[in-house]
Amino acid sequence: MADPRPWVLRGAEPEDAAFLRALYASTRPDLGLLPEAVRATLLDLQYRAQQRGYAANYPQARQEIVVAGETAAGQLLTAEQGDDLVLVDISLLPDWRGQGLGGAAIRTVQDRAQAAGRGVRLQVARDNPALRLYRRHGFGPAAEDEVRLTLHWSAPGQAPG
Nearest to 108, CA basis, from 8, 20, 6: 8
**Which parts of the chain register pLDDT below 70?**
1-5, 159-161
**What's the predicted TM-score (pTM) here?**
0.90
Q: Fill in the DSSP letter of residue 111.
A: H
CA within 13 Å, CB half, 21: 12
Pairwise CA distance, residues 36 & 140, whole Å: 39
Alpha-helix residue ranges (DSSP H) falling in 27-141: 36-57, 101-115, 130-136
CA dist 31 and 25 (Å) reads 9
3-state secondary structure of 57: helix
Which domains does the chain carry?
A: 7-153 (3.40.630.30)
Look at residue 157 in the predicted model and tell me its pLDDT.
Answer: 75
